[in-house]
């Protein structure tokens, strides 16, 4: 029995508006939510007090699922240094998987917007979910300007 719906993933970043602008320019996502608020202590657990934050949520095509969020602490109770020139993922790290109709175009926009491309667009095949066929993909992978890792896939016929 399913008792929950995965609605979005939110990343903690030093500048929520700037992080959102990257995905707006690369994928054309739009702002669903853009507000300053107070994050209740423990949600997420970062400091001993309620913390003022900026939260920006972007949506793709579906208005309820498939969203990504960027959370900025106004007075961060932790180090906000962004890793630079990343080339490998780490244990426990999220992978943002994006489906696009134009991997090469998204790649060009991502590079122009400051992404660190780990693997340029390449064509390959993976087994279908039930293993009865293969899915042909055009894929590239990147680290965005905040070090968030993404795999960008285009399904080929």
Q: Residue 54 belongs to a domain with what CATH number?
A: 3.30.720
Q: How many residues does the chain have?
A: 157
**pLDDT for the residue numbered 5:** 80
Residue 80 lies in a domain: no
Q: Is residue 84 part of a domain?
A: no
What pLDDT is attached to residue 7?
83
The per-residue pLDDT for 64 is 64
What is the phi-psi region of residue 98: left when phi exceeds 0, alpha when psi lies from -120 to 50, beta otherwise? Answer: beta
Mark which of 22, 42, 73 sits at the end of a domain.
Answer: 73
- What's this model's pTM, rounded to 2 decimal places? 0.91
139 within some domain = yes
Q: Among 73, 88, 104, which residue terminates a domain?
A: 73
| Structure confidence at residue 47 (pLDDT) | 75
Same domain, 111 and 149: yes
d(CA 118, CA 115) in angstroms, rounded, equals 9
Over residues 103-123, the mean pLDDT reads 98
What CATH number did the domain enclosing 150 receive? Answer: 3.30.720.110
Q: Structurally, how many domains does the chain consist of? A: 2
Distance of CA 42 to CAs 23, 51, 66, 102, 114, Å? 28, 10, 25, 40, 33
Residue found by looking up tokens 């009865």 in the block: 132
Please indicate, yes or no, whether residues 69 and 17 belong to a single structural domain of this protein. Answer: yes
Least confident of 6-20, 47-61, 102-116: 47-61
Do 24 and 63 fall into the same domain? yes
- What domain range is 142 assigned to? 96-156
| Predicted local distance difference test score (pLDDT) of residue 124 | 97
């Amino acid at each position: 029995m399913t008792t929950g719906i995965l609605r979005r993933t939110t990343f903690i970043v030093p500048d929520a508006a700037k992080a959102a602008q990257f995905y707006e320019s690369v994928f054309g996502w739009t702002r669903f939510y853009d507000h300053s608020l107070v994050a209740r202590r423990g949600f997420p657990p970062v400091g001993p007090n309620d913390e003022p934050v900026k939260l920006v949520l972007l949506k793709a095509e579906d208005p309820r699922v498939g969203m990504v969020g960027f959370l900025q602490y106004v007075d961060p109770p932790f180090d906000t240094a962004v890793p630079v020139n990343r080339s490998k993922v780490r244990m426990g790290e999220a992978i943002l998987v994006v489906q696009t109709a134009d991997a090469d175009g998204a790649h060009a926009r991502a590079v122009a917007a400051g992404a660190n491309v780990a693997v340029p667009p390449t064509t390959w095949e993976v087994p279908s979910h039930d293993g009865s066929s293969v899915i042909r993909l055009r894929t590239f992978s990147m680290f965005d300007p905040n070090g968030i890792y993404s795999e960008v896939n285009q399904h080929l016929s």
